[in-house]
Amino acid sequence: MLTVASDIDVLARFGRALADPIRCRVLLVLREAPAYPAGLAEALGVSRTRMSNHLACLRDCGLVVTVPDGRRTRYELADERLGHALEHLLTAVVAVESDRTCPDAADQGCC
pLDDT, tens only, 43-54: 999 999 999 999
Q: Residue 106: CB partners within 8 Å, gap ≥ 6?
A: none
The pTM for the full model equals 0.81
For the chain, give the mean pLDDT.
Answer: 87
Is it the case that residue 105 has pLDDT exceeding 60?
Answer: no
Distance (Å, whole) CA 54 – CA 97: 30
- The percent of residues in the chain predicted with pLDDT above 70, rounded, is 84
Identity of residue 2: L
Q: How far apart are CA 86 and CA 26, in angstroms?
A: 12
Q: What is the mean pLDDT of residues 55-82?
A: 95
Instruction: Express the helix, strand and coil content of the chain in percent, nearest 5 each.
Output: 55, 10, 35
Q: Residue 109 above 50 pLDDT?
A: no
Q: What pLDDT score was predicted for residue 22?
A: 96
Report the C-alpha gap between 109 and 111 in whole angstroms.
Answer: 7
Q: CA 60, CA 90: separation in Å to the nearest integer?
A: 23
Which residue segments constitute the domains of the chain, with CATH numbers given?
7-108 (1.10.10.10)
